[in-house]
């Protein structure tokens, strides 16, 4: 006879936090949301931690390079979608890693014999106003000068004039020698009132560029998530079919962490993929897996070597897996059980494997609930799809601006690999829908508001960190009447804008 759970599974919307004692020291500005992303042994720190507990979903309509940069600036990580060609995904990762590094490999380069019209076209293509003039036009060529948008104007000068006649020659450049520290480079920029500083090797070839705007960006984004070379952290999704070709290309592009993207991860294909990747590329490759909804699924992936485990099946706003196959579990119940399994595994093995709550987040406070229930961080799709930086088109529909948002299991995405059960290739039926979400503006403004809500709620619980929240939080199930009572009622509301995430 089948096994039956005694209790129904619950969603985040069925819980509330009970306030705890708030000390004078417990104020929102002192709350840290730093949280581990990757497994680590007792007594050590995670090899990579998030500064805010938000990552973006592995979806075509959510996680491209533009959103990855914006989220890394705020302290989170994007997992760039894998349902695209390997070269295309690797190029997205490469753009994230080269966008800001303090020391940036120049992506705007030209030969001195090329024309001003070619220089203008290059600036239009890259969006960068500073172009390095190298002997062979490559980012590693011998540096001969710099040309910027201030040095010429098409229409005033001949478009066919050579770049060499308008560039600032190397003899007049202020530059740094390879090996200069970032602090020293920024000091030169400010001392000489420069917008950029080329860094040159002993043989005269261009090593990198340092930009004034990157210093300003760091001041504006104090939580930005950087690697050891001051580049943004980038994640990427892979599947259980072409991982032996996709993983090395993504790693070569600079991906910091990979994640197996699957609607259900308690299977032999994920175990094999983890083993194959570890065997071919070493233990240093960081690899998440999922999704699961119970203790057995977590233990299976933790013992297989996953660096983090994603929790959630069927809870996404565009997901119809439960409707189509009857598979899934209420997200709150799934997180609670898996978190207990994670803690037991830590006690038994001394290895902490972070868990990610993926799906079921409707309102901002659901994030706080997920963290209190044991999640180390949450993965969001609909939330990020609403922002300027997401890939979906912005449309004007029925008097309001919206953005397109479609599921990986929809006919539009046709990401059959995510739902692969080892049979024939192809998507036999949909497990996601094609939809619109309300346009919400910039990622930065919205994430700042969400983070503030989480920090304030944690203070109400007397917690200055996610660990304290998980130790001290008190949660209660609520009735439908309580849910109704918790929103505005028995009044006529003038304006409800700004209430929803």
pLDDT, tens only, 349-386: 999 999 999 999 999 999 999 999 999 999 999 999 99
pTM of the complete model: 0.81
The backbone region for 292, taken as left when phi is positive above 0, alpha when psi lies in -120 to 50, beta otherwise, is beta
What are the distances in angstroms from CA 382 to CA 153, 363, 368, 439, 497? 43, 11, 17, 11, 18
pLDDT level of residue 481 (50, 70, 90 thresholds): confident
Tokens in use for 68? 């990855």
What is the average pLDDT across 378-407?
A: 93
Q: Cα-atom radius of gyration of the chain, to the nearest Å?
A: 25
pLDDT level of residue 104 (50, 70, 90 thresholds): confident
The backbone region for 168, taken as left when phi is positive above 0, alpha when psi lies in -120 to 50, beta otherwise, is beta
Closest CA to 182 of 140, 214, 222: 214
Please, what is the Cα angle at 122 between 119 and 127, to 5 degrees?
120
Distance CA 327, CA 283 (A): 33
150 assigned to active site: no
Residue 5 pairs in a beta bridge with none
Whether 250 shows a pLDDT value over 60: the answer reads yes
- Separation of CA 99 from chain center: 15
Q: What is the longest distance spanned by two Cα atoms in the chain?
A: 84
pLDDT, tens only, 38-88: 999 999 999 999 999 999 999 999 999 999 999 999 999 999 999 999 999
Stretch (H or E) spanning 402: strand 400-406
pLDDT, tens only, 452-475: 999 999 999 999 999 999 999 999
Cβ neighbours of residue 387 closer than 8 Å, sequence gap 6 or more: 67, 70, 403, 440, 441, 442, 443, 446
Share of the chain above pLDDT 70, in %: 94
Predicted pLDDT of residue 390 = 95
pLDDT, tens only, 107-158: 899 999 999 999 999 988 887 889 999 999 999 999 999 999 888 877 788 8
Cβ neighbours of residue 428 closer than 8 Å, sequence gap 6 or more: none
461 assigned to active site: no
According to DSSP, the β-strands at 143-148 and 168-169 are antiparallel
Peptide bond into 153 cis (omega under 30): no
From 39, 231, 259, 319, the catalytic residue: 319
Residue 380 pairs in a beta bridge with 56
**Full strand arrangement of the beta sheet holding 394-397:** 394-397, 400-406, 434-438
DSSP structural state of residue 419: G
* HSE toward the beta carbon, residue 10, CA cutoff 13 A: 21
Cβ neighbours of residue 373 closer than 8 Å, sequence gap 6 or more: 15, 332, 335, 336, 339, 357, 470, 475
- Separation of CA 281 from chain center: 23
Three-state SS at 172: helix
Whether 253 shows a pLDDT value over 70: the answer reads yes
Is residue 307 within 8 Å of residue 257, measured between CB atoms?
yes
* HSE toward the beta carbon, residue 190, CA cutoff 13 A: 9
Q: What is the dihedral of CA 481, 484, 486, 487, to 10 degrees?
A: -170
Point out the least confidently predicted range of 81-90, 190-199, 405-414. Answer: 405-414
First to last CA, the chain: 43
pLDDT, tens only, 270-292: 999 999 999 999 999 999 998 99
From 231, 342, 386, 418, the catalytic residue: 418
């Amino acid at each position: 006879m089948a096994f039956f759970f005694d209790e129904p599974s619950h969603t985040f919307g069925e819980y509330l936090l009970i306030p705890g004692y708030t000390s004078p020291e417990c104020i929102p500005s002192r709350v840290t949301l730093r949280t581990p992303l990757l497994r680590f042994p007792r007594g050590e720190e995670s090899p990579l931690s998030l500064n805010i507990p938000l990552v973006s979903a592995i979806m075509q309509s959510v996680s491209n390079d533009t959103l990855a940069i914006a989220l890394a600036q705020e302290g989170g990580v994007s997992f760039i979608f894998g349902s695209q060609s390997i070269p295309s995904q690797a190029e997205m990762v490469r753009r994230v890693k080269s966008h800001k590094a303090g020391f940036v490999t120049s992506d705007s380069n030209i030969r001195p014999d090329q024309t001003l019209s070619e220089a203008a076209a290059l600036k239009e293509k890259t969006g960068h106003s500073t172009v390095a003039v190298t002997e062979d036009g490559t980012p590693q060529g011998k540096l001969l000068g710099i040309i910027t948008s201030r040095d010429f104007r098409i229409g005033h000068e001949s478009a066919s004039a050579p770049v060499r006649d308008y560039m600032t020659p190397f003899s007049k450049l202020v530059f740094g020698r390879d090996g200069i520290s970032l602090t020293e480079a920024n000091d030169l920029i400010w001392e000489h009132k420069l917008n950029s500083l080329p860094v040159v090797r002993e043989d005269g070839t261009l090593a990198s560029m340092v930009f004034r705007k990157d210093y300003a960006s760091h001041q504006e984004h104090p939580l930005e998530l950087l690697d050891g070379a001051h580049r943004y952290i980038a994640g990427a999704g892979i599947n259980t079919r072409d991982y032996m070709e996709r993983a090395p290309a993504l790693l070569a592009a600079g991906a910091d962490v990979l994640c197996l993207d699957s609607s259900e991860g308690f299977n032999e294909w994920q175990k094999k993929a983890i083993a194959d990747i570890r065997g071919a590329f070493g233990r240093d490759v960081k690899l998440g897996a999922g999704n699961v909804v119970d203790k057995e699924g977590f233990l299976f992936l933790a013992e297989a070597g996953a660096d983090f485990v994603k929790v959630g099946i069927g809870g996404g706003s565009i997901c119809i897996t439960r409707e189509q196959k009857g598979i899934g579990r209420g997200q709150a119940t799934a997180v609670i059980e898996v978190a207990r399994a994670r803690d037991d595994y830590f006690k038994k093995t001394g290895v902490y494997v972070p868990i990610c709550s993926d799906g079921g987040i409707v309102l901002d406070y659901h994030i706080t609930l997920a963290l209190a229930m044991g999640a180390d961080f949450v993965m969001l799709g609909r939330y990020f799809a609403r922002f300027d930086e997401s890939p979906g088109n912005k449309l004007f529909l029925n008097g309001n601006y919206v953005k397109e948002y479609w599921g990986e299991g929809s006919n539009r995405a046709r990401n059959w690999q995510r739902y692969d059960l080892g049979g024939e290739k192809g998507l036999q039926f949909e497990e996601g829908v094609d939809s619109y979400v309300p346009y919400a503006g910039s990622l930065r403004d919205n994430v700042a508001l969400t983070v503030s809500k989480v920090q304030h709620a944690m203070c109400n619980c007397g917690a200055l960190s996610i660990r304290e929240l998980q130790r001290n939080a008190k949660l209660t199930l609520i009735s439908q009447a309580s849910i109704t009572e918790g929103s505005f009622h028995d009044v006529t509301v003038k304006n409800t804008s700004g209430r929803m995430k």
